Amino acid sequence: MASSSQNTFDESSDDTFDDIFDQEFDEKFDEFFDQAFENFTIGGAKKKRKPQAYIERNHEEGHIRLWNDYFSDTPTYPDNLFRRRFRMNKPLFMHIVDRLSNEVLYFREKKDGLGRISLSPLQKCTAAFRVLAYGSAADAVDKYLRLGETTTRLFVEHFVEGIIYLFGDEYLRRPKLTDLQRLLDVGEYRGFPGMIGSIDCMHWEWKNCPTAWKGKYFRCSDKPTIVLEAVASYDLWIWHAFFGPPGTLNDINVLDHSPVFDDIIKGEALNVTFSVNGREYHMAYYLTDGIYPKWANFIQSIPLPQGPQAVLFAQRQETVRKDIERAFGVLQARFAIVKNPALFWDKFKIGKIMRACIILHNMIVENERDGYTQYDVSEFQQGEDNGSSHVDLTYSTDIPTNIANQMGVRIRIRDRQMHQQLKDDLVQHIWHKFGRDEDNN
């Protein structure tokens, strides 16, 4: 009996000792691990772990403030200040917010596990748009809209993807029949029949370009850049945008990689027929600066004009060609993120930002086009027998896209003789159209 009780006492003592040992070991191990993690060193410098503090931003307050300032029935700021700060009119901005909130899952208002409503679509779109418009840091909107830096960066990425997905096909399209007719009418009115826009390149500085790539993206300056090739019309609409070539390439090198003539080569472009100085032509053209090659689709100025006709042509060409320069200037003024150095590391994300900014730019142009100064083309449209050139548009999609046809189109595009003939006829046409005004002056 005594032996049995003694054995029972010994077993319970052993269990108690094991429990105490395990508890003390766990406490000592946790204490040692905490001290080691808190005082670990990197490069000889002691680093201490800082606790991650949760910041209660009260994003509902940010939504209420934003709504009362701009979107209520009696907003604090009038429509002219809204246009200045959002770069567009309020109905257009609300149209964008509605499309994103209805068709893009990320911008829908949701509830978390506790039933708390998430950030509103107005907050998300406003935060992304402020970063694009002002080119500011991601945490610059925290105090007003009540959202953090990482959240704002995610909003920007999803916002540009949503803009491209919803509006890219409509606002980065090739000119339709009515668009092309309007461009040609305005070109005729300005003295350049057959002209549909101006082409040039712009450089966007890439601040966070990877070191291994800097030799590829550096050019004359000490800053790496990415090139944008664009075609713009008189109303600053950007019809063609090719972004991505490194800054070491000049305009001719970019043109060699550009898809600007792919529609013509594939037989998918509209046929344009116009007459200049009594001679008929069948290919529209762009106005360019002197670096572009002497092709049938490009008309440059005259570097050293001799005689009044050449001088007048050079003045008119250089004046009309400023459309593309104005388009670049307005694009950078509306979206400072394009003007300031790009801070993203990923070139693919930078390309999406540029594409989205161009789409938004074209949306603003379409929305406010009625307020711009319009050219009166009624005289050209009504008068067919007064010596004015006319435009006839037909589809050419029935041409087989084989190698022989594509090579033939390439030869037509690069025809230097046709280029010189068209340029001489334009010199004569402009002199007949505007020469009297110059004589009277």
Single residue among 171, 191, 208 that ends a domain in this structure:
171
Single out the residue of 283, 243, 249 nearest to residue 265, CA to CA: 283
Element (H, E) at 191: none
Residue 12 lies in a domain: no
Q: What is the pLDDT of residue 14?
A: 52
The answer to whether 330 and 318 have CB atoms below 8 angstroms apart is: no
Q: What is the mean pLDDT of residues 334-357?
A: 92
DSSP secondary-structure letter at 404?
H
- Which structural domain range is residue 113 located in? 59-171
Would you state the pLDDT for residue 16? 56
Residues 185 and 157 in one domain: no
- Per-residue pLDDT tens over the stretch 284-313: 999 999 899 999 999 999 998 889 999 999
* Burial of residue 200, with CB atoms counted within 10 A of its CB: 0-12 exposed, 13-18 middle, 19 or more buried: buried
Give me 248's structure tokens. Answer: 């070491």
Res 333: pLDDT: 94
Q: How confident is the model at residue 394 (pLDDT cuts 50, 70, 90)?
A: low
Cα distances (angstroms) measured from residue 265 to each of 76, 140, 195: 54, 47, 19
Q: What are the residues whose beta carbons fall under 8 Å from the beta carbon of 306, sequence distance 6 or more? A: none
Give domain status of residue 22, yes or no.
no
Residue 150 has pLDDT above 60, yes or no: yes
Domain termination residue (choose one: 171, 193, 221): 171
Residues 130 and 274 reside in one and the same domain: no
Residues 330 and 358 in one domain: yes
Task: Tell me: do 111 and 197 sit in the same domain.
Answer: no
pLDDT band, very low/low/confident/very high, at 389 (cuts 50, 70, 90): very low
**Residue for token digits 């025809």?**
415
**Tally of CB atoms within 10 A around 405:** 14
pLDDT tier at 3, thresholds 50, 70, 90: very low
**Rounded to an integer, what distance in angstroms lies between the CA atom of residue 374 and that of residue 351?**
33
Q: How does pLDDT run across 115-139, given as a tens digit for each residue?
A: 677 788 999 999 999 999 998 888 8
Question: Per-residue confidence at 223, pLDDT binned at 50, 70, 90?
Answer: confident
Which residue has tokens 């007048």?
312
Residue 25 lies in a domain: no
Closest among 144, 149, 140 to 63, alpha carbons compared: 144
State the chain's mean pLDDT as an integer: 82
pLDDT of 48 strictly over 80: no
User: Any idea which of 191-195, 292-296, 387-391 has the lowest mean pLDDT?
Assistant: 387-391
CA 439/CA 97 separation, integer angstroms: 55
225 and 317 together in one domain: yes
**Partner residues linked to 280 by β-bridges:** 275
Q: What are the residues whose beta carbons fall under 8 Å from the beta carbon of 17, sequence distance 6 or more?
A: none
Last residue of a domain, one of 145, 171, 197: 171
Residue 46 lies in a domain: no
Q: Which segments of 369-415 does DSSP mark as H helices, in order?
A: 378-382, 403-413
Mean pLDDT of 185-194: 91
Tell me if 142 sits within 8 A of 203, measured CB to CB.
Answer: no
| Digit-coded pLDDT (tens) for 58-110 | 778 888 999 999 999 999 999 999 999 999 999 999 999 999 999 998 888 87
Strands (E), 163-260: 195-205, 225-232, 238-246
Query: Is 26 inside a domain boundary?
Result: no
pLDDT in tens, 358-368: 999 999 999 98
- Does the residue 315 lie in any domain? yes
Q: Do 314 and 334 belong together in one domain?
A: yes
Question: What pLDDT does residue 187 have?
Answer: 92
Question: Confidence band (pLDDT; 50, 70, 90) for 376?
Answer: low
Report helix, strand or coil for 394: strand
Residue range 430-434: mean pLDDT, rounded: 91
Confidence of residue 439 (pLDDT cuts 50, 70, 90): low
Q: Is the pLDDT of residue 11 over 60?
A: no
* Closest C-alpha among 263, 255, 109, 265 to residue 180: 263
Tokens, residue 252: 């001719």
Q: Are residues 123 and 236 in the same domain?
A: no
In angstroms, the CA 359 to CA 345 distance is 22
pLDDT(386) > 50: no
Q: Can you read off the two tokens belonging to residue 98?
A: 């509605």
186 plus 282 within the same structural domain: yes
* Strand bridging mode 298-299 / 285-287: parallel
d(CA 300, CA 310): 12
Region 28-38: mean pLDDT is 58
State pTM to two decimals: 0.82
How much of the chain exceeds pLDDT 70, in percent?
A: 77
Number of domains into which the chain is organized: 2
C-alpha distances in Å from residue 136, one per residue of 59, 328, 361: 20, 20, 19
Q: Are 66 and 126 in contact (CB under 8 A)?
A: yes
230 strand-pairing partners? 200, 241
With respect to residue 429, please indicate whether it lies within any of the assigned structural domains. Answer: yes
Residue with token string 């030869």: 411
The three-class DSSP label of residue 251 is helix
In this structure, are 91 and 185 located in the same domain? no
Query: Residue 385 above 70 pLDDT?
Result: no
Phi, psi of 187 (to 5 degrees): -60, -40
Shared domain for 264 and 400, answered yes or no, is yes
Shared domain check, 187 and 138: no
pLDDT at residue 51, as a whole number? 57
CA distance 9 to 3: 10
Output the pLDDT for position 251: 92
Q: Which residues contact 179 (CB under 8 A, 6 or more apart)?
A: none
Asked whether residue 245 falls in the same domain as residue 106, the answer is no
For residue 53, being part of any structural domain is answered with no
Mean pLDDT to the nearest integer, 339-357: 92
